[in-house]
């Protein structure tokens, strides 16, 4: 068995106002395992918080960008500069939505050709594509969002699968992409009762979690209305409805994904022992 994967929530904010105000950090998610050092959706703050959390960006071997919105891509180029040792060595993998790599009718490309050229493997992430990253098998999931090329990612490990939805609205069949995942990370921008086309609310998260029944669900990419409403209250509501253990991520939270799924809060005093997720 390969060692477990550590998932570090460098940022848990999402959307324009959470980003502008930094009510929550928007630095995305780092994943570290054997042969794996991946930054997923590096929004503003990804470089700074990587360094302040002691995660050397020069050790990266992959950068994933789900779509062409700034809260997901702004730090991608500097992280590529770090990954390629200051653009001196062609190195690593960049997996990104079509719009991120090439632009589309809604946006220009989010990562320059100069930066894309220094990455060893550039993968255009389109729904249902599968590719290998070290010893992980990665699947691309479909997201329905205001960037039509937005995607999510599903990671297959020796211990089962975990997945990240990215920004998406609920759609019929979304559950199929996340069947049998043990850990599901959902980008829940808005609280219950506040629908917004192209985005996920607590109500949508309930439907997805009911359809997929992971061992643990994590809410992240929290928008301003969600932050004001109280993300942990929304997580409790989901848990009550679905009976699936659900947590609202906080900045600096870490999850060790192995035989067990252990959640560690950033402040030792707040550490939660979640052995119940065995």
Nearer Cβ to Zn ion (84/202) = 202
Nearer Cβ to Zn ion (19/242) = 19
Q: Is 71 in the site for Zn ion (CB under 5 A)?
A: yes
φ, ψ for residue 216, nearest 5 deg: -150, 135
The nearest distance, CB 95 to Zn ion, in angstroms, is 17
Number of neighbouring beta carbons within 10 Å of residue 132 = 11
Nearer Cβ to Zn ion (149/262) = 149
* Span interacting with Zn ion, options 17-25, 67-75, 155-163, 172-180, rule CB under 5 A: 67-75
The tokens 């809060």 sit on which residue? 265
Q: How far apart are CA 191 and CA 174, in angstroms?
A: 19
Q: Is 167 in the site for Zn ion (CB under 5 A)?
A: yes
The nearest distance, CB 12 to Zn ion, in angstroms, is 12
Give the closest residue to 72 by CA, choosing from 104, 125, 119, 111.
111
Number of residues that bind Zn ion (CB under 5 A): 4
* Span interacting with Zn ion, options 7-15, 89-97, 98-106, 201-209, rule CB under 5 A: 7-15
The nearest distance, CB 14 to Zn ion, in angstroms, is 4
* Span interacting with Zn ion, options 14-22, 46-54, 123-131, 251-259, rule CB under 5 A: 14-22
* Span interacting with Zn ion, options 9-17, 50-58, 107-115, 173-181, rule CB under 5 A: 9-17
* Span interacting with Zn ion, options 63-71, 76-84, 86-94, 258-266, rule CB under 5 A: 63-71
Q: Is 69 in the site for Zn ion (CB under 5 A)?
A: yes
Candidate list 11, 14, 45, 214; residue touching Zn ion; CB under 5 A: 14
The nearest distance, CB 231 to Zn ion, in angstroms, is 15
Q: Which residue is nearest to Zn ion (CB)?
A: 69
Nearer Cβ to Zn ion (71/149) = 71
Chain residues that interact with Zn ion, rule: CB under 5 A: 14, 69, 71, 167
């Amino acid at each position: 068995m390969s060692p477990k994967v550590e998932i570090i929530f460098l940022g848990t904010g999402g959307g324009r106002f959470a980003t502008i105000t930094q009510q929550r950090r928007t630095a995305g998610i780092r994943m570290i395992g054997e042969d794996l050092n991946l930054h997923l959706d590096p929004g503003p703050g990804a470089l700074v918080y990587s360094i302040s959390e002691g995660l050397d960006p020069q050790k990266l071997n992959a950068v994933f960008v789900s779509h062409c919105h700034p809260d997901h891509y702004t730090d991608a180029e500097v992280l590529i500069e770090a990954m390629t040792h200051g653009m001196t060595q062609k190195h690593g993998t960049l997996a990104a939505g079509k719009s991120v790599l090439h632009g589309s009718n809604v946006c220009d490309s989010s990562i320059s050709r100069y930066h894309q050229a220094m990455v060893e493997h550039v993968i255009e992430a389109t729904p249902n594509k599968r590719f290998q990253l070290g010893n992980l098998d990665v699947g691309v999931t479909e997201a329905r969002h205001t960037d039509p090329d937005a995607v999510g990612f599903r990671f297959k490990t020796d211990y089962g699968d975990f997945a990240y939805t990215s920004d998406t609205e609920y759609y019929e069949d979304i559950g199929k992409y996340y069947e049998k995942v043990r850990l599901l990370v959902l980008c829940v921008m808005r609280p219950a009762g506040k629908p917004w086309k192209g985005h996920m609310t607590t109500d949508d998260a309930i439907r997805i979690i009911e359809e997929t029944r992971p061992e643990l669900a994590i809410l992240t990419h929290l928008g301003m209305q969600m932050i004001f409403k109280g993300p942990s209250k929304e997580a409790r509501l989901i848990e009550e409805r679905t009976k699936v253990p659900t947590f609202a991520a906080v900045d600096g939270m870490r999850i060790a994904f192995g035989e067990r799924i252990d959640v560690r809060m950033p402040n030792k005093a707040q550490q939660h022992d979640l052995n119940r997720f065995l």
